[in-house]
Structure 1
Amino acid sequence: MNQRVLDILEFQKIKDKLASFAASEPGKARAREISPSHHEAKVERGLAETQEAVQVLTKRSRPALVGIRDQEKDFKRLALGGTLTIEQIVYLGDSLRGVQYLKDYFSEEAPPALMGTLVDKLTPLRGLREKIERTFESDQEVSDQASPALAQIRQSMVQKKEEVRRKLNSFVTGDSQKYLQDNLVTIRAGRYVIPVKQENKSSIKGLIHDTSSSGATVFIEPLAVVELNNQLRELENKERQEIHRILQELSDQLAENLPVLKQNNYAMVELDFIFAKGRLALEEKAIKPRISQEKKLKIDQGRHPLLDPRKVVPIDLDLGYDFNSLIITGPNTGGKTVSLKTTGLLILMAQAGLFVPAGPNTVIPLVHEIYADIGDEQSIEQNLSTFSSHMVNIVDILSKITDQDLVLFDELGAGTDPTEGAALAMTIIDKMRERGILTMATTHYNQLKVYALETPGVANAGMEFDLETLSPTYRLRIGTPGKSNAFEISRRLGLGEDYIQAAKSFIHSDSLKFEDVLEGLERERQDLSRKNQAEEAKQREIEALKARLQREVEKSERQRDRILDQANEKAEKILREAKEQADLALLELKDIQASMASQEEKRLQQTRNYLGENLRSLAKKNKKGLVIEKVARPIEDVKVGDTVFSKSLQQKGQVLELPDKQGNVLVQLGILKMSLPVNSLTYAESQEEARGRVQTKSMISKKSKNFKTELDLRGQTFEEAKIQLEKYIDDAYLSGMPSVRIIHGKGTGALREKVRNFLHHYQPVKKIEDAKMNEGGYGVTIAYLN
């Protein structure tokens, strides 16, 4: 598209608005690169992407688009075998985390087709990402755990520094204290020194590293710590070498995965861009227009996307159906130019793959170019009048335009003699009409209104004007020309009637009659419009009541169906469980029957006879002298079902009946039922054991009821959090919790790693995993308990 036309129609502002919805700088840059296209496949794909984003965003929250950066320089450095800095590697790790977030976002519900193609290109490289996260405390610091060698070096450095401080503290607190300017240890040129008064510098044997600005203090490294400082510098050098080795190793691994990193970056930027298109569409309440290859334009309730949505007045118009040329007339500041710009801008947006703020019946043609002559084109530098400047543009347009283009003329023929200007305007429009070019033009000339009424393929349109309030309504009316209303406005503003009539005398009677006819038509149209609006309001009220009634009927039917479904499900469940129990019982009976052969039945009968004889013998012995002894601590408040122990019979039993008047209670002892005195029975376990068991159950029940299912450790060091975490997991385990949430936040990841390491090795914990994206993601760990 011609850049001048894009500027006139303010397409750049649309691109800036789109960019504001992108989450990353590369995404914003991608948004600012869009341009209209007349290739149907490209336009349809762009609109389909926007539609997919709208569908996803309507169903779910926005994805976490993180870690998207301009990584081109990093990729080039990796391709050349270079070593990345800590910050660059950490940023690439963040990018891989962002890839994982997007994969997780689409894991619950598969993405639509076009977005799915991009999601399939994403590879999280989880092992490499986790290694990067373990290696760095922040984007400036390598973790002690990056390698065993680094951990050992740093531990040695700590010990060496402590040894240096102890040596220097002997100077600060000992006999040499009197020579010092301050009782402290400081660092100069990377070496530990003490501040000595200038006049006492010869009293401290050592190396001078610096002097204060006043000259009163010299900073001396005592000879006693020179060797220790040297050793410390050697360790620092080893630390730098080890860090460089670690960075080189990670850079090599990143270089090996460079194609994947580039593909990830491309896919994430594209997804950011597509989601930005979806967010813009939702913000503007925009729709996907139908694309036409047949030069047909229909705008249904189109709104200019850069005007205040609370104040903008929608327009309706069409071109390419019954007419190809539309002449718009009406008063100044009535909205004629805005109608042109709205039309042009909506076409540009649709051809750039963006939804348009309009109604669902909108149809956009695939025009190759939009040519526009809009606004005050006066050029002082070129010594051109407004008319001349307009004609320069029009001549240029006429030399380039084809029948696949759209042309927008604002105040065509203005700026010169009205008669000549109108004649030129009619000629230009007639040439456009003959070539079948879609044309819109605004004008004040009555001659063009008459021309549109008389010429096939040309239609009038007027900007509505409220004669009661003397203000424009900004509504576009197709088929009726607009009226300038200069006399009426002047009369309402106080111009005398004699001036009005005198002015009319200068106008040709035919023109006056034409204006009067237009005024009468406009009044009739407005009266009819008000009646139609009243009828439409009544119809809408009726439709709303019908819809409400229909919803209530459907709601009642759904409730009825739900109740029936629930009842059927419950009945089916009862029948299914009963059948399963019956089948199980039948199987058990069959097993018993199969195992009981005739010989076994005989043996069972023999056993029964034997037991019967023993019981009879026992009963005789009892009559003859079996003594049922009292026990020291008999049971109290005996209840049916209690498990008791008979010391005399050395057997456990279960109470079947409460004691009778003689204090005897019926007890089931194995296959034998006996009546025994209550005072001969004890509990099968001591009351203390039973009470302890009840108290334990009560404590666990109480814990379960009051237990919180998550623990927040954010803002704590691991040393602070460890005791609290250990107690919390123990309580959760005792309470029977299947899983708990540990909130440690994201930050540098140090607390997360230590918490996860602790949980991984803690016995009650079965496994751990990150929370879902919408439940905290990387900042929350779910611990499943044994």
Structure 2
Amino acid sequence: MNEKVLDTLEYNKIKDQLAGFLTTDRGHEIVQNLQPSGDYAVVDQQLKETADGADIVRLAGEIPIPKLTEISPYMKRLKIENAALSGTELAHITKLLRAVKTVSQFFEDFKNEEVTLRTVPKTVAKLTLMPDITTRMVQSIDDDGRVLDSASSQLRAIRRTIEQTQSNIRTRMGKYLKGSESKYLSEPIITVRDERFVLPIRAEYKSHFGGIVHDQSASGQTLYVEPSNVVEMNNQLRRDQLAERTEQRRILAELTEMIRPYRQELLENMNLVGQLDFVNAKAKYAHQSGAVLPKISTENVVNLRHARHPLIAKEKVVPNDIKIGADYQTIIVTGPNTGGKTITIKTVGLLQLMGQSGLFITADEESQIGVFDDVFADIGDDQSIEANLSTFSSHMDNIIAIMKQLTDKSLVLLDELGAGTDPKEGAALAMAIIDAIHRSGCEMIATTHYPELKAFAYNRPGIINASMEFDVETLRPTYRLLLGIPGQSNALNIASRLGMPEQIVQQAKSFTDSENQDINNMIAELTSQTKRAHDEADELATELSEATKLHADLQKRFDQYQNQKDRLQEHAREQANEIVEKAKHNADKIIADLHRKQRQVGKTTVKENELIDAKGALNQLEVAPSLKRNKVLKKEKAKHNFKAGDEVLVKSYGQQGTLIRQEKNGLWDIQLGILKMQIEEADLEKVGKQAQPKAKYQTHVSRTRSTGMSPTLDLRGHRYEEAMYELDRYVDSALLAGYPTITIIHGKGTGALRKGVTDYLKRNSRVKSFGYSAPNAGGDGSTVVQFK
């Protein structure tokens, strides 16, 4: 791809925005070297990679990649025998090793998600895990490059000795800070000079105090003196500190030797993590800008739906539908300036460059791009004082260079073609250039304000007119592209609406060519018809969207009704069967009693067949009960005919509340005491306004057993706002259920969720205490909460 078009279309600004989402030095290097590709397979692969990143961002937030410094300079030093790395350098390598482990575990967990990734798992599979080396490095070096006590038992012992010696020195010197000796001090503090503990002594008491002078103040009034009774202790401290440094150097050398054989693996890991960082950035940039995955045409058919310029704020830019490459290969956009022609062709070019770089494009779903071997653009005023070129000469120089390089697989964008010279000659030259480029078979979009090109486009196969809509009523451009309609001159109409005397306007019209007047009238009519068609299409689209939404809502409610109906009928049938079973039991008792009495009195008072018929009729009530007029069923239906203001029982909590409203998702907002919650309709039962839950449902044990809630809330994969909402709702539910303790799993990741959970728990007055789980139960990836 030629460098000039990247500057012309401001491609580097897209890269700058993309770089804002990176966390690694290698990721920045990848973005810096990013270029559009003209290879279909490469573009397809890169877009699939971005689609994987978008799925990960949607489902899990993002790939957990920390800020990583480039390690390639350290790896070069490792080629030198006996060269040792510093603590800071080893800390950067440790961060990489830890990141590789975290990323590998992240993708292992991601296998449980609902989507199958296309290309990213292949990158992850190339990562080299070094568990033993990672463990050793993590135990030895902290993030700031300091050697940890756990690096060796000898270092730990030396540091404990140093701490003890320092404590003894401070204890002994502390006696000088109080009592009669304190009057010799400039101020009652213990300080350090030349790595030895000293006291600030007034200069006039030097001979009285004694000791070794190590320094003095700028005024000479204060001497920093090491008391005689701590000299040997300071000497011992110094010896221990030297031993500590020697042991630290030994450990750093040992760690360096440990990783020296793995230079290539570490470099490859750095490259792979940088590539995953790039995937993260592409996905997050697409999410922020509202970009979508485009289709790719092997025939270079471009179909951009509601395309918008990515560098203009979404709320300000006017989206346009742009098609080229199928029925026509050349678009000539005519009409006056300030109508948005330049932005439109820049949008097409920049979206093509983004798509061919593996980035999502700012357009609607189902948009399609081509894969051009090169994109050429001549846009703007390239007047060059140094080269003594006018605007016209500069444009011609660019166009000549473009015509020498283009192929039938190229895309050419020309702005204000033929401008800067005599109008008639400029128009003629513009037509000749368009004809020549069109014959090459490439695709081209050219803008011009020459009216001669309107008829030229109309008479050429494969070329179509277009214009930017202009609202004569408001005297403002709408920035909407109208394909198939040439631009019209609005100078006389605008002058008239601005108050130009009608006599002058009419005289001006008499000076214009009648043919041009007819063309303008025709264009005005076409524009009016097209605008009406667009407005009607927009109105129909809105109505269709509303109808679709209504249909979906009705379907959802119908499905809920069907599910509830079947459940209610089954429940009513069970209750009816219970009544019948009870009646059968009583009937059996009566019949048995009658038989007993018959045997006692020795005579038959009731015929046997009558008894059998009566029992059979009772049995039929259980096999096929008629529920159409069943009072039990009617009563159950009445319990579930909800409306705002009804008093209801939340069955899962055993609590009574008041319905507020039903949300679009089917859930009911309900006020439970001081709490407001969203509950599924199936979990509600209407009760009388004076009804109260029985006491047995209020006990701690009953609520805990009836809820069916898990004592653990897993927030991993949730966005921050969603997670905080779920946490608030869950804690309310746990309090209602009577749980004394719950566990909240927030993961480690970037720490944002963990901090949000901690802040929320600090604010909640019902929380007695909380802290991280035990190391074998998740560590700082989960928090255990105890309620009051």
Is contact 1:19-1:29 (8 Å) kept?
no
Residue 186 to residue 423, structure 1, CA distance change in 2 (3 Å):
closer
Residue 87 of structure 1 corresponds to which residue in structure 2?
88
Q: Which moved more, 1:425-434 or 1:467-476?
A: 467-476
Q: Deviations over 1:416-451 (max 9, x none)?
A: 111111110111111112221211111111210001
Is contact 2:101-2:129 (8 Å) kept?
yes
What is the CA distance between 1:31 and its match in structure 2?
2.4
Aligned-partner Cα distance in 2 for 1:253–1:421? 73
Residue identity matched to 1:68? L
1:353 paired to 2:358: yes
Residue identity matched to 2:163? V
Residue 160 to residue 213, structure 1, CA distance change in 2 (3 Å):
same
Q: How does 1:309-708 map to 2 (within 5 A)?
A: 309-555=314-560
What is the CA distance between 1:415 and its match in structure 2?
1.6
Q: Which moved more, 1:337-346 or 1:84-93?
A: 84-93
Aligned-partner Cα distance in 2 for 1:272–1:563? 53
Q: Which moved more, 1:465-474 or 1:132-141?
A: 132-141
In structure 1, runs of 5+ residues without a counterpart are 568-699, 711-734, 749-765, 772-776
Is contact 2:333-2:465 (8 Å) kept?
yes
Q: Which moved more, 1:54-63 or 1:323-332?
A: 54-63
Aligned-partner Cα distance in 2 for 1:17–1:216? 59
What is the CA distance between 1:341 and its match in structure 2?
0.4
Is contact 1:742-1:781 (8 Å) kept?
yes
Is contact 1:768-1:782 (8 Å) kept?
no
1:769 paired to 2:776: yes
1:18 paired to 2:26: no
Residue 555 to residue 278, structure 1, CA distance change in 2 (3 Å):
farther
Aligned-partner Cα distance in 2 for 1:157–1:343? 69
Residue identity matched to 2:497? R
Number of equivalences: 606
The 3-state SS of whatever aligns with 2:358 is coil
Residue 253 of structure 2 corresponds to which residue in structure 1?
248
Is contact 2:331-2:465 (8 Å) kept?
yes
Residue 357 to residue 195, structure 1, CA distance change in 2 (3 Å):
closer
Aligned-partner Cα distance in 2 for 1:140–1:301? 52
What is the CA distance between 1:165 and its match in structure 2?
4.3
Aligned-partner Cα distance in 1 for 2:256–2:343? 56
Aligned-partner Cα distance in 1 for 2:223–2:194? 13
Q: TM-score, normalised by structure 2?
A: 0.69
Aligned-partner Cα distance in 2 for 1:565–1:136? 66
1:73 paired to 2:77: no
Aligned-partner Cα distance in 1 for 2:775–2:165? 39
Residue 31 of structure 1 corresponds to which residue in structure 2?
31
Residue 62 of structure 2 corresponds to which residue in structure 1?
62
Residue identity matched to 1:13? K
Residue 624 of structure 2 corresponds to which residue in structure 1?
none
What is the CA distance between 1:322 and its match in structure 2?
1.9
What is the CA distance between 1:142 and its match in structure 2?
3.4
What is the CA distance between 1:459 and its match in structure 2?
1.0
What is the CA distance between 1:527 and its match in structure 2?
3.7
Aligned-partner Cα distance in 2 for 1:769–1:164? 41
Aligned-partner Cα distance in 1 for 2:366–2:739? 60
The 3-state SS of whatever aligns with 2:108 is coil
Aligned-partner Cα distance in 1 for 2:190–2:369? 78
Residue 171 to residue 43, structure 1, CA distance change in 2 (3 Å):
closer
Residue identity matched to 1:488? N
In structure 2, runs of 5+ residues without a counterpart are 573-699, 713-737, 752-772
Residue identity matched to 1:7? D
Percent identity of paired positions between Structure 1 and Structure 2: 38
Q: TM-score, normalised by structure 1?
A: 0.69
The 3-state SS of whatever aligns with 1:106 is helix
Residue 594 of structure 2 corresponds to which residue in structure 1?
none
Residue identity matched to 1:16? D
Aligned-partner Cα distance in 2 for 1:176–1:466? 93
Residue identity matched to 2:498? L
1:40 paired to 2:50: no
Residue 527 to residue 213, structure 1, CA distance change in 2 (3 Å):
closer
The 3-state SS of whatever aligns with 1:219 is strand
Residue 107 to residue 781, structure 1, CA distance change in 2 (3 Å):
farther
The 3-state SS of whatever aligns with 2:331 is strand
Aligned-partner Cα distance in 1 for 2:65–2:120? 14
Residue 200 to residue 125, structure 1, CA distance change in 2 (3 Å):
same
Aligned-partner Cα distance in 1 for 2:213–2:539? 98
Residue 520 to residue 222, structure 1, CA distance change in 2 (3 Å):
closer
The 3-state SS of whatever aligns with 2:223 is strand
What is the CA distance between 1:151 and its match in structure 2?
2.5
Residue 234 of structure 1 corresponds to which residue in structure 2?
239
What is the CA distance between 1:500 and its match in structure 2?
1.5
The 3-state SS of whatever aligns with 1:272 is helix
What is the CA distance between 1:502 and its match in structure 2?
2.2
What is the CA distance between 1:5 and its match in structure 2?
1.1
The 3-state SS of whatever aligns with 1:769 is helix
Is contact 1:67-1:98 (8 Å) kept?
no
Residue 351 to residue 555, structure 1, CA distance change in 2 (3 Å):
farther
Aligned-partner Cα distance in 2 for 1:163–1:118? 56
Aligned-partner Cα distance in 1 for 2:523–2:183? 108
Q: How does 1:115-264 map to 2 (within 5 A)?
A: 115-136=120-141, 139=144, 141-165=146-170, 168=173, 181=186, 184-264=189-269
What is the CA distance between 1:36 and its match in structure 2?
0.4
What is the CA distance between 1:46 and its match in structure 2?
0.5
What is the CA distance between 1:372 and its match in structure 2?
1.1
Is contact 2:333-2:445 (8 Å) kept?
yes
Aligned-partner Cα distance in 2 for 1:770–1:337? 60
Aligned-partner Cα distance in 2 for 1:562–1:100? 49
Aligned-partner Cα distance in 1 for 2:41–2:133? 39
Structure with bigger gyration radius: 1
Q: Deviations over 1:559-589 (max 9, x none)?
A: 689999999xxxxxxxxxxxxxxxxxxxxxx
Residue identity matched to 1:90? A
Aligned-partner Cα distance in 2 for 1:20–1:315? 28
The 3-state SS of whatever aligns with 1:46 is helix
What is the CA distance between 1:277 and its match in structure 2?
1.2
Aligned-partner Cα distance in 2 for 1:479–1:225? 96
Residue identity matched to 2:368? V
- Correspondent of 2:271 among 266, 273, 276: 266
Q: How does 1:294-305 map to 2 (within 5 A)?
A: 294-305=299-310
Q: How does 1:747-758 map to 2 (within 5 A)?
A: none
What is the CA distance between 1:116 and its match in structure 2?
0.7
1:100 paired to 2:101: yes
Is contact 1:768-1:781 (8 Å) kept?
no
Residue 751 of structure 1 corresponds to which residue in structure 2?
none
Is contact 1:291-1:364 (8 Å) kept?
yes
What is the CA distance between 1:245 and its match in structure 2?
1.6
Computed over aligned residues only, the root mean square deviation of the Cα atoms, in angstroms, reads 3.8
Aligned-partner Cα distance in 2 for 1:109–1:747? 17
Residue 612 of structure 1 corresponds to which residue in structure 2?
none
Aligned-partner Cα distance in 1 for 2:143–2:518? 82
Q: Deviations over 1:450-481 (max 9, x none)?
A: 01111112111121122322222211111111
Residue identity matched to 1:396? A
The 3-state SS of whatever aligns with 1:347 is helix
Aligned-partner Cα distance in 2 for 1:738–1:127? 37
Is contact 1:769-1:781 (8 Å) kept?
no
Residue identity matched to 2:328? F
What is the CA distance between 1:488 and its match in structure 2?
0.8
Is contact 2:64-2:749 (8 Å) kept?
no
What is the CA distance between 1:709 and its match in structure 2?
7.6
Is contact 2:90-2:145 (8 Å) kept?
no
Aligned-partner Cα distance in 2 for 1:709–1:26? 42
Is contact 1:367-1:404 (8 Å) kept?
yes
Residue identity matched to 1:77? R
